Amino acid sequence: MNVKKRLLTGVVCGALLVGTTVPALAATVHYNDGASVGGSAEWNAWTKEWESVATDYTQVSLTPGADETELNFAWYSKDNGQAATPVVHFGTDKNALKTFTGTSADVEGDLTGGEAYDYNYVTVTGLKENTTYYYTVEKNGVQSDVETYRTHSFSTVKMLYVGDPQIGASKGQPQGSETLSGDSGAANTAARNDAFGWNRTLEAAVAQDPDVSFIISAGDQVNKTGQPKEEEYAGYLSADVLSYLPVATAIGNHDSLNPDYQYHFNNPNATDYGTTAAGGDYYYSYGNGLFIVLNTNNYNVAEHKQAIAQAVASDPDAAWRIVTIHQDIYGSGLDHSDTDGMILRTQLTPIFDQYDIDVVLQGHDHTYSRSKLLYGDGQSHGTYEFQLNDEGTDYDWDNAYNTQTNTQIPLYPEDGDTTGETLLSNFQADNHCYTIETTVGSTVTNPNGTLYMTANSASGSKFYELISGQQDYIANRSQNWLPSWSVITMDADTFSIDTYQLTADGKTEKIDSTFTINKTGDGESLTAPLTRAQAVERLYEAAGCPTVSADAGFADVDANASYAEAVAWAKSQGVVKGMNASAFQPDAVISQAQFAAMLTRYAALQGKAGASANANLAQGLTFAKSNGLLTGSAVTASTVDYALTKLGK
């Protein structure tokens, strides 16, 4: 995550967290102090180890393969004048390992202080579930020590989902009597601090769920931007857990402008779409899931769409389609969620709808949030991007650009800049491009919308404030200034996510209820005309399904009908009046005028100005149309969701 230029950096010291107090429109930085949270013995041992870790660029990186039967390896080896040896020895018998040979190429010398290295790629194939394997890698022909790797179930898969380790991001913050430094090499004490926290979090997560198969990281593995900082990757890869858990990484904005990202991570099915210096989009399948990872630092959404299409074509029958991106197009952090985080929202939302994406995993915000189920509003919207600064060393985070008009939009207009304030306001209004699906509770079945998760920092290297007002599309959010992670459990029919934080004394605490998506076959159509009962059910769900003591009071509404309670609530609140005193006609297709009248009475119940609790059909149509609540002529599930979303604003 980038820190904006207007961010102020005064500090207030505490035992666990160090933070800043800043104006309302800027984010607040907090971090975990490794010397305070780690225990003196562990921390002291790590500080002694750091000098050797920081200079060891040859640590091995594991990445998921193209599917669950493959495992990818990447590592640096010193170029000592002899050919590199991209070889992995792998198998179930440590005394009779099979040899797998891959490829190698030069690492750019300016990344490693002029010292010559090669990067090595190897793919191991033929893996089986619930099996223990052993491996070594060759570095210049010398085998490493034997490591252990275990597969787990391929039908019920557990994954860790993390955000923004961003090793090195705590630079400038105090630690004891010193200030954490971002200088290169072992002098990068911020990287030392954050790598310690990263390892601590992973150890706690795996101790709690030892049967996870791999990690999904939503980007910003390191803090470097446009400069060589290999010690940050060394710190990231030094985590003990990473010797046996692969990581599927998204490219964050701090990773995107450096080629060493793609040297360190041997990503499967790497495409030429969405590329920056770090690489581009890729995808893989695992168990019942198709996982698509987009480099959203490239703003060419047409290319991302091609990558998604290619991925879906490779595994069209996957039960679940999961996308990982860095920028949180639906997040809740200050101030990114309403500025640079949502930069691709108008473009990506309809593409995710088109390809039936179930879940989007995001980072960038250094806060935690879980969205409601969202899909597009079907309206026309602008398209936006960021552009590189004049030096080409980073993006110009202060301004977005409308790609259709090339209009520059200041994200932080100066006081008195009315033109800039108008441009920003219009940009934010245009990004209200979503519809909230009407659902109830933390378990949903066959939803049409997409779930958007935003992960907080897993290392504790940097935290930001939540935006002051929780957006209507957010179901739950949290910022406790503690490292966190989620555990995803996925089988053919169920996708569940649990989220935890790690306290200063090493305890694991749950910070959100379990959210579960069930699939039981074909879901509800968004475009089929609704019956009167179905329309009332959605209004009842939007109201939170309040308890009703009386029955519906209509002769044609069976007390045992699934919609009986909804109709009873609607009648008791004056939302419906029936076709006559004794008939509701639950199975009749609802007309636009009937729905408009119900919606207007519902709006009055919610205290909306101009809405009448006794609106007739004509009055209902007038209110609904004047407030832009109706789309099309037929009343469908999307009609109701759109109207309720718009009404909520």
Single-letter amino acid code for the residue at 436:
I
How high is the mean pLDDT of the chain?
A: 92
Q: What percent of the chain has pLDDT over 70?
A: 95
Question: For 96, which DSSP code?
Answer: S
In one-letter notation, the amino acid at residue 392 is G
Answer whether 68's CB lies under 8 Å from 56's CB. Answer: no
Confirm whether pTM is higher than 0.75.
yes
In whole angstroms, what is the distance from residue 57 CA to residue 79 CA?
12
Q: What is the pLDDT of residue 389?
A: 87
Question: Which tokens sit at 54?
Answer: 């920081």
- CA neighbor of 400 nearest in space, from 415, 380, 383: 383
379: phi then psi, degrees, rounded to nearest 5: -100, 165
Q: How far apart are CA 143 and CA 419, in angstroms?
A: 64
The owner of tokens 């003196």 is: 40
Q: Indicate the DSSP class of residue 614.
A: T
pLDDT attached to residue 649: 63
- CB contact at 8 A, 289 and 275: no
Q: Which DSSP state fits 326?
A: S
Q: What is the pLDDT of residue 395?
A: 86
Taking the C-alpha atoms of residue 278 and residue 252, their distance in angstroms, rounded to an integer, is: 9
Judging by beta carbons within 10 Å of its beta carbon (0-12, 13-18, 19+), is residue 553 exposed, middle or buried? middle
Identify residue 68 by its one-letter amino acid code. E
Q: pLDDT tens, 79-125?
A: 988 889 999 999 999 999 999 999 999 999 889 988 999 999 999 99
CB 28 within 8 A of CB 9: no
- Is there a contact between 617 and 597 (Cβ–Cβ < 8 Å)? yes
Whether the bond between 335 and the residue before it is cis, its omega within 30 degrees of 0, is yes
> Which regions in the chain score pLDDT beneath 70?
1-28, 225-226, 649
Instruction: Report the distance separating Cα 269 and Cα 281, nearest Å.
Output: 9
Structure tokens at 105: 């190429």
pLDDT confidence of residue 24: 36
Q: Look-up: residue for tokens 């490292």?
A: 483
Name the E strands within 366-426: 368-371, 374-376, 384-385, 399-402, 408-410
- For residue 155, what is the DSSP state? S
- Print burial letters for 294-315: b (CB count within 10 Å at least 16), e (below 16): bbbbbbebebbbbbbeebbebb
380 contacts: CB under 8 Å, gap ≥ 6:
none
Please identify which residue in the block is written with the tokens 């005064």: 10
Please give the pLDDT value at position 393. 81
Q: Exposed, middle or buried, 80 (CB in 10 Å: 0-12/13-18/19+)?
A: exposed
Q: What is the rounded distance in angstroms from the CA atom of residue 552 to the CA atom of residue 563? A: 10
pLDDT tens-digit profile of 140-166? 999 999 999 999 999 999 999 999 999
Cross-strand partners of 452? 360
- What is the DSSP code (8-state) at residue 333? B
What tokens were used for 529?
């005309």
